[in-house]
Amino acid sequence: MTQETIIKTKPKAQDYATDQDARWCPGCGDYSILKQVQSVFAELEVDRDNTVFISGIGCSSRFPYYMNTYGMHSIHGRAPAFAAGLRSIKPGLNTWLISGDGDSLSIGGNHFIHALRRNFNINYLLFNNEIYGLTKGQYSPTSEKGKVTKSTPYGSVDHPFNPLALSMGADATFVARSMDRDPKHMRAVLMRAQEHVGTSLVEIYQNCNIFNDGAFFTFTEKETKGNTVLFLEQGKPLIFGANNEKGIVLDGFTPKVVNVADIAAADLWVHDETDRVKAGILARFFDDPSKEGALPRPFGIFYVEKRATYESEMIEQVNKTKVAKVAKLDDLLRGSNTWEIK
């Protein structure tokens, strides 16, 4: 009788792809995000049979069709509710949520903030293209003021959402930003999101080359990104510029841009991703890059906090209740306060 040796081979990115043709426009930034997620899964050897992708409605929400895992294409703005319900009964399931700026920040805004507040163990990828692409080019909650679209022919008068500032306000435990045109950076952020226990919110600047082409080119193209992008690295000073000649200092709670050569290195702001106050300030680096004196746009991990997840505390409560002495159902329904009407 021979003993068979089972050799486990390391998975490849294509092992996480399905046989479905991606139905996105050629050149869409969603292709890049899909590829990076599949690459990260292969590197981390993620178990396909213990992973699920849940999405709402929008171009980004076709994502589950293209991942060789479990998946659900749910309803507009309600993906967080489905994900929360699933985590409540399957807490061991590796859960990813895919949504767009319209899906999460308009009709799904309430679900968005409560998902972050409750801190279910979910990886929440927010594809932000500042437009409604699926419905052919209407302005979204993140479109800049004055945006001319089919639904705002004279320019939008709405003040746009700042997704990361909103996330910080909702007490998210992991807040990050990346971009579709920097695959290496995106993979690093996605890995950190997967490691985090709790809701990991990752905003991804994603170019819609049909209805909002170039919305983020100032931050993604090498000719301009040096002076407009601030990459956050834990324990390192906030510096940027074509030759890293610029830095950020804090004057009280007010950030200011300085020339690195003009100040002592110890005076530069050093990034600490566990500092909630400073993370909140960084999330407010949201200036129009075309304006004089604009602060650079940060990319990377803004904030990380260790906090118990909703499902872990719920399970603990249920287990305690099971072993405790429970009154009769009729007594529970009546409660401790009763009134007798005569």
Write out the chain's pLDDT in tens, 342 residues. Answer: 456 666 778 999 999 999 999 999 999 999 999 999 999 999 999 999 999 999 999 999 999 999 999 999 999 999 999 999 999 999 999 999 999 999 999 999 999 999 999 999 999 999 999 999 999 999 999 999 999 999 999 999 999 999 999 999 999 999 999 999 999 999 999 999 999 999 999 999 999 999 999 999 999 999 999 999 999 999 999 999 999 999 999 999 999 999 999 999 999 999 999 999 999 999 999 999 989 889 999 999 999 999 999 999 999 999 998 887 666 778 777 777 777 787
- What is the DSSP-derived secondary structure letter of residue 252? T
Query: CA 146, 149, 154, 156 torsion: positive or negative?
Result: negative
On whether residue 266 sits in a domain, the answer given is no
Separation of CA 20 from chain center: 25
On whether residue 158 sits in a domain, the answer given is yes
On whether residue 119 sits in a domain, the answer given is yes
What residues contact residue 49 under an 8 Å CB cut-off, 6+ apart? 69, 70
What is d(CA 42, CA 36) in angstroms, rounded to the nearest whole number? 10
On whether residue 48 sits in a domain, the answer given is yes
On whether residue 291 sits in a domain, the answer given is no
CB of 66 closer than 8 Å to CB of 17? yes
On whether residue 229 sits in a domain, the answer given is no
Domain that includes residue 59, residue range? 13-215
With vertex at residue 87, the alpha carbon angle to CA 85 and CA 89, rounded to the nearest 5 degrees, is: 75
What is d(CA 10, CA 43) in angstroms, rounded to the nearest whole number? 8
Cross-sheet strand order for the sheet of 297-304: 70-73, 51-55, 94-100, 122-128, 200-205, 174-179, 297-304, 229-231
- What is the DSSP-derived secondary structure letter of residue 91? T
Q: Which residue has 């994502």 as its token pair?
A: 63
Task: Kindly report the CATH number assigned to the domain that includes residue 189.
Answer: 3.40.50.970
Count of domains in the chain? 1
On whether residue 136 sits in a domain, the answer given is yes
On whether residue 210 sits in a domain, the answer given is yes
Q: Which of 57, 102, 66, 55 is nearest to 212 (CA)?
A: 102
